[in-house]
Structure 1
Amino acid sequence: MSNAYEASGVNIEQGYEAVERMKKHIDRTKRQEVMSQVGGFGGLFSLASHSYKEPVLVSGTDGVGTKILLAQQAGILNTVGIDCVAMCVNDVLAQGAEPLFFLDYLAVGHNDPSQIEQLVAGVAEGCVQAGAALIGGETAEMPDLYAKDEFDLAGFCVGIADKSALLDRQGVKEGDILIGLPSSGVHSNGFSLVRKIFFKDHQWSFDQCLSDGTKLIDALLTPTKIYVKDLMPLVKQGLIHGMAHITGGGFYENVPRMFNEDLCAHVQVTSWEKPLIFSTMQELGNIPEEEMYQVFNMGVGMVIAVAPENVDTVLASLPQAVKLGHMTRKTTTEQANIVLNFTEVEA
């Protein structure tokens, strides 16, 4: 048999091996609705067992961004798959939908079955954390597009909700209380700035430690937190009026996405403790505080709006969450839909 394709840089046999290595990780994500096996032309997922009156499918797609460059350079490959899933399922969750299944797209310069297994193992772990099935994907070996050690990872998620239970801009009301759920760190946004600060401007090494002793690479590659299992029960109980996933654009861009233009979110930024990684970056980069909240999550990965009478119930279910602020009617003097208060409020 001719080896012309291999001579061009694509190894079919290694592709087969990579698929075999994936199977045990994919099996961890199985749900009863999955109808297909790995290797088909499409993933099959049955909705017959769901009893929604007006079912709506909610989809989201994303990648890992330039955080993936650090994973490549550090040789730490089993966490960015969690990031990829998290960026998608948290967006779907923000609409009030339960994630059902996920598909990934992995592009590599060289098909190394061991490397691919680690990446897909991360994707599978993210799916397990989200309760979503990994029902398919694609691995593309493209030696002319990527260098031998380069890869990229993206994917998409599909979730489901009853039409009446969707979280949209109409749900958040004047007087609602804003509650924040802690992030696990930088998550997967702002890494072009992260890399510039630490590695271009200050030449930090991966093993250099923050002031608390944490290695820099460990702090930066901590996977994005997945909030599905914490928040979905509250969504189904009707206790959440709105939800904002704090991703690219930080607080200023994402919080206003969950309510109408006639409202304004007031956030007291001294109400929670910021992870050390953010103050370290701010100091090294000499970044204004307002800009930090425009780029990063600053320690809060998800913001939810809750009716005042339900706050105690919600906080009891989310022991690490904190009250961040409240919703008001937007006044004629307010130009923006969010106001961040940076001064300490007296008790």
Structure 2
Amino acid sequence: MDGIVGGIGYFNAVLVFCILVYVHEMGHYLVARLCGVRIEVFSIGFGRELFGWTDGHGTRWKFSIVPLGGYVRMFGEHSMEDVQGDTGRAVTEEEQKVSFDHKSLAQRAAIVFAGPAANFIFAIFVMALLFGNAGLREPQDIADYGIGAIVESSPADEAGLQEGDKILSVDGREIGDWDGFVESIRGSDGRELIVKISRDGQTATKYLTPRFNEEIQAFAIGVHRPFQVVTFGPIDSLVMATERTWDYSILTLTSIGEIFTGSRSLDDMGGPVKIVDMSNQVAQRGALDLIVFVAVLSINLGLLNLLPVPMLDGGHLLFYAIEAVRRKPLGEKAQEYLLRGGLAVLLLVMVIVMQNDIVQLLKEHGVI
């Protein structure tokens, strides 16, 4: 499985986008159908249709040429008046029963919220399956288990260190735990270190020189911490998956808040190009890592869609909250101006993330 995932390279990004879009739009679709709304189109991607089919309910299911999103088009959605389309024909009583805009406020809000909710539920479900089957890698004490896996062709590998070796000291400093070991390596400034180890009850001395790792921005020798895989029962897996989803959500919201307050640079924002690159990198590490990556992206997609920005699901929910307070919808002009403002914000964000993506791409290819 890992070989297949790693072998298809950047096509993994297409799969990631399609899965996330399908989950999100399926949330809207299922709740809309539950509320009796007629679905006209379910599209994965935007633009010209590549292929599709029409089901017995009259819904057109299709894949479109640009796989960077998708949509569910519901009958009577945002028509604002009791007329159908550009024809000006009055909506019949039967059509009103299957029209989105003729549903109750609670039903419309539920349909809109269902998209982001599906992303969270999907992430919880995926992580719960992983915790219950593949298990969770729990870090262990190197004093008892020794060091973990060795990176091939790393300083540790070249010096002859092996998985399970117990680190006794580094440059005469006794090592009691993993944090102390990492600190001694990163504080070396790249000079040669004398490492005393214990292997099979025998002591030995190894000489190695740490190298600067660009990814972690620190000196390293290519040694992983020891882990033990622990699996959990269904209830514990579900609880842990829910907790992880909550933690990832808080982390994402904190990062967004830091960007707005200026404590984090806009350069940290990435768009489709960055996701494509990350999908490929994660896929090279194996199928399980790619599955976790999809779950985390699903959480981010759900959160971003809940932001109270017109054009996003959160913006529509904001409109419905105002409607609940006023006991009537916002006027057409007010909604139009807010939607235009929301579109301007989204376009600005898209320009920023695409600029960051392009700059990063040029840096990786040595152009700048």
**Coarse TM-score class (shorter-chain normalised):** under 0.3
Larger Rg: 2
Q: Normalised by the size of structure 1, how large is the TM-score? A: 0.24
Q: Normalised by the size of structure 2, how large is the TM-score? A: 0.23
More helix by share: 2
